[in-house]
Amino acid sequence: TFSLNQHVGQRTREKGYVPAPAIIGGALECCDHPANIGGGTSQWTTTLYNATFFAGLEDVFHQPHSEVISRYPEGREATLGWPAPDLVFRNNTGHAIVIRATYTDTSVTAKIYGDNGGLVVEAGLGGRYNYTAMITRHEQNDELACGTEQVKSEGTGGWSVDYFRYITYPDGHQTTEKWTWHYTGLYKIIE
């Protein structure tokens, strides 16, 4: 069993991690909260999650974002925080695996080398459903005149989505795994 948080540890400035926006309390915030340290961790976590997904490895735990991020496959993505959420998977192949990570200024790549016994893995996505209204949150802003308000963040509604992993074994039989995730969306924040 491999835990990304156990392997990497807490992201800190001392380790060279930098601040970046993060979804905190339903809003995209930057950059004074401890959760903001570790820019790029969700990109890496999603990339590694997809490598394990298509290798046919067992998903022990992962958590998508609360807001859809258009550059990630809807539903089939993962965020990372400290100490949670984490990305945890199990090598259920019976053979050793090696994870190779590479990056450029504009991309990250995760490759898993090993023997998965000849599995063929495909992904599927269901349609959006279970739409939910936008959540509104009020925050105190002492710089505003008494009795006035302003919108700090417009927010979005939410929806649920199902995604699937179809695994075909060398003998021809197939299994289907299903995950469901509900994107709550970003909150509308009124000061």
Has this prediction a pTM greater than 0.95? no
Greatest CA separation for the chain? 72
pLDDT tens, position by position, 43-91:
999 999 999 999 999 999 999 999 999 999 999 999 999 999 999 999 9
| Residue 39 confidence class, pLDDT cut points 50, 70, 90 | confident
Residues 6+ apart with CB under 8 A from 152: 27, 139, 141, 189, 190, 191
Residues in a beta bridge with 29:
22
Q: Which 3 state secondary structure label does DSSP give 125?
A: strand
Taking alpha carbons only, the member of 78, 66, 77 closest to residue 4 is: 78
Residues in a beta bridge with 100:
111
